[in-house]
């Protein structure tokens, strides 16, 4: 009998303890909502990389050696042939933006048309000047490069009509307000208001008023200019008798060669050669060309990850960073 009582008492005490513990549990919200999360908890979906603790080593990114952007950047900063061996080489403007945007200690350079916010990038001021179209045009932003063209000699076109249609296109793209608007819409930088109305300019180019569907304007050279040139040609086609065009952009080095150099009479011959830099006077003389000049500018912008506190760099800063003389962010500006 005593054993039965002891067993019952043990069970009763165990049940009492269970009910007591249950009563101590937090009751659910009568409104059915979950308790607010701890505000100090890290965001579960955060994707931006956190900077390495105490690590301020600079990670340099550069374009491939055939890039006009790289050539322009190295020319302005003045470190051609001195690039640090630790530099990470990328193949395109888009890849550059993506890589630097994923590296809190990274630095690189891109075109002004890059979507900085979309790529987690911060565009840096250069020598205290913001990279804007207005500042490129007024000359205060100097980290830039020209988009240039050159042509065959005036007496070296296969026909008078071919020479005339090429001259008309260049007048439209480089001189007219309408042509400059197209170039700007495609990412180039030029003074639109400084252009003349096409209706005035076309008076000097009556060939545009005839059927030109049997003529083809062939362009070669820089890949960087392709977007601007293609947009201008497409626009010109509709107001110049349906003239045809062909783009064979393989690099700035081919621009001069295919209109004035060794390839001007070969299978790769062009009517207009383009370069995303100035033509080199010692190796690419353009004195015999029918026309040769810069038709727009492109700003090159030094960029870092959006969380990097730096906001301005000088020519000296960039020289030391890209040659490896400055290896940490703590030393920038010293």
Distance CA 51, CA 33 (A): 36
Closest CA to 150 of 253, 294, 246: 294
Helices (H), the chain: 2-24, 68-77, 93-101, 133-137, 160-175, 177-185, 198-201, 226-237, 252-257, 315-323
Q: Which domain holds residue 247?
A: 146-298
Q: Are residues 232 and 318 in the same domain?
A: no
Distance CA 220, CA 230 (A): 11
Residue 161: its H or E element = helix 160-175
pLDDT score recorded for residue 44: 37
Structural domains of the chain, count: 2
Q: Are residues 255 and 304 in the same domain?
A: no
Q: Are residues 316 and 287 in the same domain?
A: no
Tokens of residue 107, six digits: 């630095």
The CATH number of whichever domain residue 117 belongs to comes to 3.40.190.10
The CATH number of whichever domain residue 265 belongs to comes to 3.10.105
- Say if CB 286 and CB 256 are below 8 A apart: yes
What is the bridge-based pairing of β-strands 106-111 and 121-123? unpaired
Cβ-Cβ contacts under 8 Å for 5 (sequence gap 6 or more): none
CB atoms within 10 A of CB 266: 10
Instruction: Output the tens digit of pLDDT for each of the chain's 334 residues.
Output: 444 544 544 544 555 554 444 444 444 444 444 444 333 333 333 334 444 457 999 999 999 887 878 888 999 999 999 999 999 999 888 899 999 999 999 999 998 878 899 999 999 999 999 999 899 989 999 999 899 999 999 999 999 999 999 999 999 999 999 999 999 999 899 999 999 999 999 999 999 999 999 999 999 998 888 889 999 999 999 999 999 999 998 888 899 999 999 999 999 999 999 998 889 889 999 999 999 999 999 899 999 999 999 999 999 999 999 999 999 999 998 7
- Say if CB 275 and CB 255 are below 8 A apart: yes
Distance CA 145, CA 125 (A): 16
């Amino acid at each position: 009998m005593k054993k039965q009582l002891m067993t019952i008492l043990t069970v009763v005490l165990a049940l009492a303890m269970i009910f007591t513990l249950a009563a101590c549990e937090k009751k659910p919200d009568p409104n059915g909502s979950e308790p607010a999360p701890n505000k100090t908890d890290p965001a579960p979906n955060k994707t931006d990389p956190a900077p390495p603790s105490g690590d301020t080593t600079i990670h340099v990114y550069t374009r491939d050696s055939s890039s006009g952007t790289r050539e322009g950047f190295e020319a302005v900063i003045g470190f051609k042939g001195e690039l640090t061996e630790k530099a990470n080489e990328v193949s395109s403007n888009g890849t550059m933006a993506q890589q630097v945007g994923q590296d809190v200690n990274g630095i690189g350079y891109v075109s002004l048309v890059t979507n900085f916010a979309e790529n987690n990038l911060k565009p840096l001021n250069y020598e205290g000047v913001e990279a804007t179209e207005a500042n490129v045009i007024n000359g205060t932003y100097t980290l830039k490069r020209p988009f240039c063209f050159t042509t065959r000699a005036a007496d070296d076109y296969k026909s008078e009509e071919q020479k005339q249609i090429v001259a008309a296109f260049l007048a439209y793209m480089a001189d007219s307000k309408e042509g400059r608007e197209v170039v700007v819409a495609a990412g180039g930088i030029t003074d639109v208001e400084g252009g003349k109305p096409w209706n005035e300019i076309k008076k000097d180019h009556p060939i545009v008023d005839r059927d030109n569907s049997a003529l083809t304007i062939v362009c070669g050279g820089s890949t960087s200019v392709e977007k601007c040139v293609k947009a201008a040609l497409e626009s010109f086609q509709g107001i110049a008798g349906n003239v045809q065009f062909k783009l064979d952009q393989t690099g700035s080095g081919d621009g001069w060669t295919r209109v004035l150099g060794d390839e001007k009479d070969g299978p790769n011959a062009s009517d207009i050669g383009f370069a995303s830099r100035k033509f080199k006077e010692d190796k690419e003389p353009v004195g015999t060309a029918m026309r040769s000049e810069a038709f727009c500018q492109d700003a090159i912008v030094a960029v870092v990850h959006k969380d990097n506190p730096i906001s301005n760099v000088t020519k000296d800063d960039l020289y030391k960073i890209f040659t490896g003389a400055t290896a940490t962010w703590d030393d920038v500006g010293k």
